[in-house]
Amino acid sequence: MDVIVSRSGGLAGLRLTWHVRVDDQPDSDDWYVLIEQIPWSEPPPLPPEPDRFVYRIRCELQDSAPASRAHDATLAERQLTGPWRKLVDLVQDRTEPERAAPTRRPTR
């Protein structure tokens, strides 16, 4: 599984992305336990705050894993608490961020 955290927004509007291959981590079992602890379907509701960061956290599967383990959630900075925060801290600790241009959606 890959965990991809992208942080956008902030006063500067700069986007950073961290990408970790869980299976390459020496403690990959702990990662899977943590990922299962996260209440993926219910990030606590919070209206956006001006100039704060926005985090998008994705867990992407390689081919054979069951589809139920893929996750995708977008959180405001203040919603990053408990296991959410733990996962983001872990990802940021294990890898250097890449700076990327904003992801464009196809226009309308």
Partner 1 sequence: MQQIVPPYLLDRIAHAAGPRFPLAAEAARRALLREPPARLGIEPLHDLPSLLPDVPSSPDRRISDAEGRESLPGRLVRREGERATGDDAVDDAYDGLGDTHRMFDRVFGRDSIDGAGMPLEATVHFGDRYDNAFWDGERMVFGDGDGEIFRGFTDSLSVIGHELAHGVTEHTAKLRYQGQSGALNEHVSDAFGALVEQYSLGQDAGAASWLIGEGIFTDQVQGRALRSMLEPGTAYDDDVLGRDPQPGHMRDYIETSDDNGGVHLNSGIPNRAFALAAVELGGFAWEHVGRVWYDVLTSGRLPIDADFDRFAAETVRSARERYGADSGEERAIARGWAAVGIELPAPEA
- Residues near partner 1, by CB under 8 A: 6, 8-15, 47-54, 56, 74, 99-108
Nearer to partner 1, 8 or 25 (CB): 8
Nearer to partner 1, 15 or 38 (CB): 15
Query: What are the φ/ψ torsions at residue 35 (nearest 5 degrees)?
Result: -65, -35
Nearer to partner 1, 45 or 66 (CB): 45
Residue 40 C-beta: closest distance to partner 1, Å: 17
Residue 75 C-beta: closest distance to partner 1, Å: 12
Nearer to partner 1, 10 or 83 (CB): 10
Within 10 angstroms of residue 108's Cβ, the number of other Cβ atoms is 3
Residue 62 C-beta: closest distance to partner 1, Å: 24
